Structure 1
């Protein structure tokens, strides 16, 4: 019909046919959630993301106690309101749930299991923009001084100079690191590889750490005992928290290094598009959320460009 109808007429015809024929009938015992999760897996979502989707949607389904294809907008509004009140959840958490529901019901609509997603009428939840803490240059130096092992010092330097995610760090192998070029190849979200770069100090401390090891493990970072087991996310989080306490620095965690790098890069004039590439963000909005520009730099720019 494309040769006979213009785009507006084609869209109207599609809507009319969907209304006339109705949504696709589900087969007995068909698990729409399982089909949706399979689709997300094919799209490249991580196992952690898929597990979060599943837990969120199963909780919603249990609370509503009705088939997905019969859920209405009012049901979801009531569910979100009850969830926030009973659990004391933040607006950010509620909007995350809304986004997951939107993804699921939009998929049901695209696959013709429902005529229209009930989340279409539920607007984005407004959240307060809170400026989160970053590490100052002085705090980074204090953290380095608090490190008692070559491994911990190399981890702090690598996180500080690359801004990589903690999950990317623990998956690194020795072969992924090019010490000469001061770069390494990380596997980011959605199984997407990207290069990240580290400074001369990180190269020096990483070289010293690797030279001190006698094991044959391919992992870049391993446990401090003789097992040579690959280090875990939990063990790094715990170690950084302990380093922060001993250094007298509030709330030291892996993500704080990432936010610090983004903020410092923006403050020093790096184009936001390059910061986006460096951090491996799919959307530039995410980069802007991470990078809270220093107010003193805004004042200086105002005087430079507007006075």
Structure 2
């Protein structure tokens, strides 16, 4: 920040408690005019409307490597927030945010995890606004993480996995089940794979994860066999590894995989089958069988090991046996 802007920020901070929003804007305009010609673009940020601010924020997130899906989620959350508070984003107070979150969580079907996700998105926006000198201090700073009970999320048992394999009618679906269960890759990574990405000899492939980060994942012999069988049946020229069924084959989308697995689970009377459950299952089994948590972190593509620990549940029976072995 140049000298002119630094002076403006310093004076605004000193006067913040004594001025309301309109008075702050007037003060900024006067300071920008009198102190520094170059600081006038700083003043223009103060005049930016909510839509302009949001568009600038989304552009920044896209530049950081956020996926279109993530930006879409950010957009949905923030536009609802803007509509509800009914004021300029620069004038939003801590109490405004807190009241919004309390109201958001009043719905009987809204979990604390969902409300905290909303808090994180709003916090991300205001951290950016603060860093970009749109505001002096984020109103979300004083709002703590919303704690929620840590429930043991179920994984797919060996019996359920075999039932799914036997219940697959299409070779494509069987290959998807095996690839998800053995690699633990995200569904978004699965649908972006091309035929040429698969190294059958090494039983591995490179996937593009969050932030377009590349990592190598590995699949087992069963997945190799079923992938090869599926590709041998393909007559289309599409480069995608997984395509839709029928004549006009095209790359399978995330929603297509989710729908197919959900239908498979319902048909076989299995509890809530979805792509992410395969990922959690793989992590749990890997740790349960003794794989170091750091290696599981690499396989899953997590930047923080805490995230890996959230995915993996250690089998309680193994905990009991280990206690008897080492403690009792």
Q: Distance in 2 between matches of 1:244 and 1:32?
A: 43
Q: Is the 8 A contact 2:191 2:251 kept in 1?
A: yes
Shift of 1:165: 0.9
Q: 1:256 to 1:105 in 2, by over 3 A?
A: same
Q: Distance in 2 between matches of 1:273 and 1:14?
A: 47
Q: Which residue of 1 aligns with 2:161?
A: 140
What is the TM-score normalised by the length of structure 2? 0.85
Greater radius of gyration (CA): 2
Q: Which residue of 1 aligns with 2:58?
A: 37
Q: Distance in 1 between matches of 2:102 and 2:267?
A: 42
What is the TM-score normalised by the length of structure 1? 0.90
Q: 1:14 to 1:133 in 2, by over 3 A?
A: farther
Q: Which residue of 1 aligns with 2:224?
A: 203
Shift of 1:87: 6.5
Q: Where does the alignment leave 5 or more consecutive residues of structure 1 unmatched? A: 1-12
Does residue 152 in structure 1 map to residue 173 in structure 2?
A: yes
Q: Distance in 2 between matches of 1:70 and 1:27?
A: 10
RMSD: 2.0
Does residue 120 in structure 1 map to residue 126 in structure 2?
A: no
- SS of residue paired to 1:184: strand
Q: Distance in 2 between matches of 1:185 and 1:21?
A: 55
Does residue 97 in structure 1 map to residue 118 in structure 2?
A: yes
Q: Which residue of 2 aligns with 1:224?
A: 245
Does residue 272 in structure 1 map to residue 266 in structure 2?
A: no
Which residue among 246, 255, 260 is the counterpart of 1:234? 255
Q: Deviations over 1:211-244 (max 9, x none)?
A: 1212211011112212221112222222212222
Q: Distance in 2 between matches of 1:155 and 1:188?
A: 18
- Count residues in correspondence: 295
The within-5 A match list for 1:222-301 is 222-301=243-322
Q: Which residue of 2 aligns with 1:81?
A: 102
Q: Which residue of 2 aligns with 1:8?
A: none
Q: 1:17 to 1:283 in 2, by over 3 A?
A: farther
Deviates more, 1:103-112 or 1:25-34: 25-34
Does residue 174 in structure 1 map to residue 168 in structure 2?
A: no
Q: Distance in 1 between matches of 2:192 and 2:269?
A: 29
Q: Which has the higher contact order (CA 8 A, sep 6+)?
A: 1
Shift of 1:101: 1.0
Q: 1:206 to 1:62 in 2, by over 3 A?
A: same
